[in-house]
Structure 1
Amino acid sequence: MEAVMACWDLEQSLQSLTGVSPGEGSGATMSDDEDEVVDSETSLFDGSLDGIDSMGFGPLIPSETERSLMERVRQELKHELKQGYKEKIVDIREEILRKRRAGKLPGDTTSLLKAWWQSHSKWPYPTEEDKARLVQETGLQLKQINNWFINQRKRNWQSNPSTSLKSKRKR
């Protein structure tokens, strides 16, 4: 949901900078790798085929100073858009990486927990003292230890039909 909101914020920023709402544009994009100069003659014509403006005068060709001003404005707009998108994209990338890392415990930590699990397979419910010792050994929080054992019991009971809850209830 946060990623959707970030994209919506990007669209709003883009719309406020350009005055064009999403879907209204021509579909053209500015590439980071290609800094092509806009063909000023094409962009300044009124669209008639013979290049004559609506007043009957010749084509409107900008002066050199107007061209440099247009190019400078275009570069400034491009820079502002890049900066606005850059911050949002970095935020989204960090959020995705943070969520991807969230569920994984270090291997040495899980090996300690699995060792305890195997040595207590008959009754896989650690006492408060066992949990305190595991907190010290692993560096995890008590809640993480509790959740790991809850999940491990679920995994083990689902994969081992002789210890599943359903088979215990039937007996």
Structure 2
Amino acid sequence: MESVMACWELEQSLQSLTGVAPGEGTGATMSDDEDDQADSDTNLFDGSLDGPDSMGFGPLVPTETERSLMDRVRLELKHELKQGYKEKLVDVREEILRKRRAGKLPGDTTSLLKAWWQSHSKWPYPTEVDKARLVQETGLQLKQINNWFINQRKRNWHSDPSSSTVQKSKRKK
């Protein structure tokens, strides 16, 4: 009887976690023999736990040990479900972050940064005041502004044309 109650509690917990009743949506059907067994089981679980059981032994109330066992089983099941879906959640999270990283800054933002760049092409190092103004105008973070200028200088600016050819020849060796 205790094992039947424990199984019933597990089914209820699984149903509350998943929202699907056992056997629902699987296409599984019961044979006639199982129908007879299910009818007798239904009498045991008629929805009230405080009435006498089918053997006349009193209410179907789990003992403290049974409750703690059921709680432990419920927690283990919950943990297993979390572990089962954890990898999938991590994959989705990484994909979202990857897409976010691969994104470019908005066009109006880059046009403001490029305008500053062009007006200071001989020495494209913004002062702290310039950076603060750009943060206000663009809505970007200071770190984003700094990174944009670092990348822009690496890609598009050479302070001394002769030094850039020297660096290129060093790289080939």
Tell me the TM-score normalised to structure 2 length: 0.44
Tell me the TM-score normalised to structure 1 length: 0.45
Structure possessing the higher radius of gyration over alpha carbons? 2
